[in-house]
Amino acid sequence: MADNARAKRLADLIREVVAQKLQRGIKDPRLGSHVTITDTRVTGDLREATVFYTVYGDDEERKAAAAGLESAKGVLRSEVGRAAGVKFTPTLTFVMDALPDTARTIEDLLDKARQSDAKVREASAGATYAGGADPYRKPEDDETDDTAE
């Protein structure tokens, strides 16, 4: 079992090598400049690497990019092996990163919350307190109540 620092270094190297190879070395039109490598994770035994990527475009371009990455997997793995110099080159698995979709969902929810806050702010603009500005009893109020009895 390799230490976590070594796995992290290998993951960083894999991310850089795959990104550079996709940018310069692969001539597949499905893997145009709209594919971005976002993260890479390597198992503790350094046998398997998961490469997370995003594709800017519609669903058709995402499917084409996934097919292109699967077809280029062997070339990318051999390039990683050449750059890493390890005894066993990790197998590469490409996974679509859900981060942009999650960020878009969070932004939509934040926009809804801002709109709701604005509606509440508008509704409370001319409102007054039902029981006075300070509805809590104070010690001086208790003293005046005792003398009234």
Query: Taking 90 as the threshold, does the pLDDT of residue 3 lie above it?
Result: no
CATH of the domain at 56: 3.30.300.20
Q: How far apart are CA 20 and CA 41, in angstroms?
A: 17
Instruction: Find the radius of gyration of the CA atoms of the chain.
Output: 29
| Lowest mean pLDDT segment, chosen from 14-18, 69-73, 141-145 | 141-145
E-strand spans in 25-142?
A: 35-42, 48-55, 91-96
pLDDT at 93: 92
Does any domain span residue 46? yes
How many folded domains does the chain comprise? Answer: 1
Does any domain span residue 105? no
CA distances to 126, 127, 129, 135 from 132, rounded to whole Å, are 15, 12, 5, 6
- Note the pLDDT tens digit of each residue in 90-139: 999 999 887 777 888 899 999 999 999 999 888 888 877 776 667 777 77
2: confidence class by pLDDT, cuts 50, 70, 90: low
- Note the pLDDT tens digit of each residue in 32-51: 767 888 899 999 888 999 99
Give me the chain's average pLDDT, please: 84
Does any domain span residue 57? yes
Query: Taking 60 as the threshold, does the pLDDT of residue 148 lie above it?
Result: no
Tell me which residue range forms the domain holding 40: 2-98
Q: How far apart are CA 70 and CA 72, in angstroms?
A: 5
Does any domain span residue 91? yes
pLDDT at 11: 92
pLDDT at 107: 92
Say if residues 4 and 38 touch (Cβ distance below 8 Å): no
Does any domain span residue 24? yes
Does any domain span residue 94? yes
pLDDT at 113: 94
Q: Is 145 helix (H, G, I), strand (E, B) or coil?
A: helix
pLDDT at 42: 92
Rounded mean pLDDT, 44-70: 88
- DSSP-derived secondary structure letter, 89: P
Those residues with Cβ within 8 angstroms of residue 86's Cβ, 6 or more apart along the chain or in another chain: 10, 46
Does any domain span residue 125? no
Does any domain span residue 93? yes
